[in-house]
Structure 1
Amino acid sequence: MADRPEVRRARLWHVPRLARILWSFTRTTPWLPRVRTKGDDLKMMTRITRQGWVRLARDAKGPAAFIARDGQVIHALYVHPRARRQGLGRRLLDDAKARADRLELWTLQANREARAFYAAQGFAEAGRSDGRGNDEYLPDIRMVWLRRGDTADER
């Protein structure tokens, strides 16, 4: 794999592979409730790919990670298990940071690995919720990254 994998805009023909990346987490994580059917996930992936929200990173076997971002809001970032800990998630975030002065996301409190990853990438906790605002109804944490030396609490 290249030292800095290329990040590119996802196209509609990528949707089945992107859905499999999504499912590699949502369908195998025991504590995560299933709230959508696979058909619903495919429709959602098609819609956000058409809107231009999705960028992907590849490994030698093809699409291996994706980020879904609308402006400063990151809605999803998933890496296929075969490609974890190879820098693809970091590369997708670096690409998003190059395109925005501020990024924000919500991550589930139970997802300690994601929380640690985002903190290591410069995101700071900016709030918590009881989960009423997410599909899974699980407590979550709002995290914010700012290009400048501002703190997340100031926004």
Structure 2
Amino acid sequence: MDAAARVHRTAFDQALPWLAGLHTPDEDRWFYRERMFATCTLWGAFDGAAMRGVIAFHDDWIEQLYVLPDAQGRGIGSALLEIARQDADRLQLWTFQRNARARRFYETRGFVAVEETDGSGNEEREPGVRYRWTRGSAGE
């Protein structure tokens, strides 16, 4: 739980520095313990004992996918995403419109933007974009 929360916070803060510090480490640990572990399937990517990436998913939703900044570009995110795709015919997720790196990552892997929001409905008040992947679509 602590490792997943730490990967999440480190990657989130690096990708979205204008939102850094939104939650405390205690809040992050609570979120993973009470929400993610309770409702999602979680997988971690490890280098020895050190967690380098994490994915949390349920039904057809990817709730979280984070890879530590120094481990990005090594296929970890793709491998974690593939775990979620194994038994899915469709997956959806949200990311922020300004997170260009995440958007490229998902689009390169066959996800298509299907909805944009102004951010009024999320805690961060950051405009979001919902992506969907369907088995058999381009990039599968």
* TM-score band, normalised by shorter chain: 0.7 to 0.9
Say whether 1:41 aligns with 2:22. Answer: no
15-24 or 119-128: which moved more? 15-24
TM norm structure 2: 0.88
SS in 2 for 1:43: helix
Instruction: Please list the CA deviations of residues 45-100 of structure 1 after superposition, one character each: whole Å capped at 9, or x if unmatched.
Output: 11222434311111235211011112111111000122111101000111111121
Q: Following the alignment from structure 2 to structure 1, what is the Cα–Cα distance between the partners of residues 6 and 64?
A: 14
2:10 equivalent in structure 1: 24
Say whether 1:59 aligns with 2:47. Answer: yes
CA contact (8 A) 1:26 1:34 kept: no
Say whether 1:97 aligns with 2:85. Answer: yes
CA contact (8 A) 2:110 2:137 kept: no
Q: Following the alignment from structure 2 to structure 1, what is the Cα–Cα distance between the partners of residues 59 and 9?
A: 24
Say whether 1:85 aligns with 2:73. Answer: yes
Question: Identity over aligned residues, as a percent?
Answer: 34
- For residue 103 of structure 1, report the CA deviation from its aligned partner: 0.2
Unaligned runs of 5+ in 2: none
Q: Following the alignment from structure 2 to structure 1, what is the Cα–Cα distance between the partners of residues 42 and 136?
A: 25
Counterpart AA for 1:24: T
Q: Following the alignment from structure 1 to structure 2, what is the Cα–Cα distance between the partners of residues 80 and 97?
A: 21
CA contact (8 A) 1:56 1:67 kept: yes
Q: Following the alignment from structure 1 to structure 2, what is the Cα–Cα distance between the partners of residues 115 and 36?
A: 23
Give the total of aligned pairs: 136
Instruction: Please list the CA deviations of residues 13-69 of structure 1 after superposition, one character each: whole Å capped at 9, or x if unmatched.
Output: xx1111111121233442225433221211111122243431111123521101111
CA 113–149 in structure 1, closer or farther in 2 if over 3 Å, else same? closer
- For residue 113 of structure 1, report the CA deviation from its aligned partner: 0.2
TM norm structure 1: 0.80
From the CA coordinates, give the structure whose radius of gyration is larger. 1
105-114 or 48-57: which moved more? 48-57
CA 149–114 in structure 1, closer or farther in 2 if over 3 Å, else same? closer
Instruction: Please list the CA deviations of residues 83-137 of structure 1 after superposition, one character each: whole Å capped at 9, or x if unmatched.
Output: 1111010001111111211000011011000000000111001010001222211
80-89 or 31-40: which moved more? 31-40
